[in-house]
């Protein structure tokens, strides 16, 4: 019915405006290899930003896509992201409740806090704190309760500090930076109402290891 893959950072899911006219790989170029005997290739049931790594759900056929889409619309699929932010929240847990809207038509997907925008909520928990190269960092678990474009990136930047490596909402350089430190670490999907949700976890990518370790993470720790 479905596949859950570990999407690498830097790989766009679709050939959107940023990829049009440029010869760069996108996930849809590789989906035929994931048919595993079915006549149709799988399709992504939700989105991950190009620079976000981790768990991405694919529906293997139209009926599966319909069920997964309904689960996402109903908010029944639980997603947890790991992020390293510069600075960090004063409290060890809380809720960011900040409406979001497009920054401008010219900025495409870029978003901004706007009281007239769409309601947007993100729960957060601090998993560790530390510093790297003189920069104070916090390791967070982020639970998006809504699914707005760039929600986690804007919520963090507006509330207590940009995600480390964010070249849009933070101060990272356009090229040669540390890479966005945002990872879709786990997802729980309730396919059968009589059974426990299917839970899948993905290990963080190598470019996040140094910052995570500075905040107390060890590579051989249990993910969750």
Q: How far is CA 168 from CA 3, 103, 157, 215, in A?
A: 31, 12, 10, 24
Q: How far is CA 193 from CA 13, 71, 74, 182, in A?
A: 29, 12, 14, 31
Answer for the pair 100, 107: CB distance below 8 angstroms, yes or no. Answer: no
Backbone angles phi, psi at 95, to 5 degrees: -130, 130
Q: Which residues contact 191 (CB under 8 A, 6 or more apart)?
A: 1, 2, 67, 197, 198
C-alpha angle 196-217-91 in degrees, rounded to nearest 5: 80
Neighbours of 131 (CB within 10 A): 11
Query: What does the block give as tokens for 2?
Result: 């479905």
- The structure tokens 């010869």 sit at 23
Q: Is 92 a catalytic residue?
A: no
Out of 6, 32, 49, 74, which one is annotated catalytic?
49
Annotated catalytic residues are: 49
């Amino acid at each position: 019915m479905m596949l859950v893959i570990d999407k690498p950072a830097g790989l766009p899911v679709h050939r959107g405006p940023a990829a049009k006219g440029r010869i760069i790989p996108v996930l849809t170029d590789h989906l035929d290899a994931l048919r595993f005997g079915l006549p149709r290739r799988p399709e992504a049931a939700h989105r991950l930003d190009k620079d976000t790594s981790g768990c991405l759900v694919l529906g293997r056929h139209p009926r599966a896509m319909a069920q997964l889409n309904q689960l996402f619309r109903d908010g029944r699929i639980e997603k947890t992201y790991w992020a390293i932010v510069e600075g960090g929240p004063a409290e060890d847990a809380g809720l960011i409740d900040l409406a979001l809207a497009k920054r401008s038509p010219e900025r495409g997907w870029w978003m901004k806090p706007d009281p007239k925008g769409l309601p947007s909520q993100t729960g957060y928990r601090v998993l560790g704190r530390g510093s790297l190269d003189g920069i104070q960092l916090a390791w967070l678990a982020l639970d998006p309760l809504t699914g707005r474009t760039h929600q986690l990136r804007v919520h963090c930047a507006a509330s207590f500090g940009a995600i480390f490596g964010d070249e849009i909402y933070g101060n990272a350089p356009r090229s040669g930076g540390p890479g966005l430190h945002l990872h879709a670490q786990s997802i729980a999907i309730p396919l059968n109402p009589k059974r426990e949700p299917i839970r899948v976890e993905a290990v963080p990518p190598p470019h996040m290891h140094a910052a995570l370790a500075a905040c107390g993470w060890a590579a051989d720790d249990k993910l969750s």
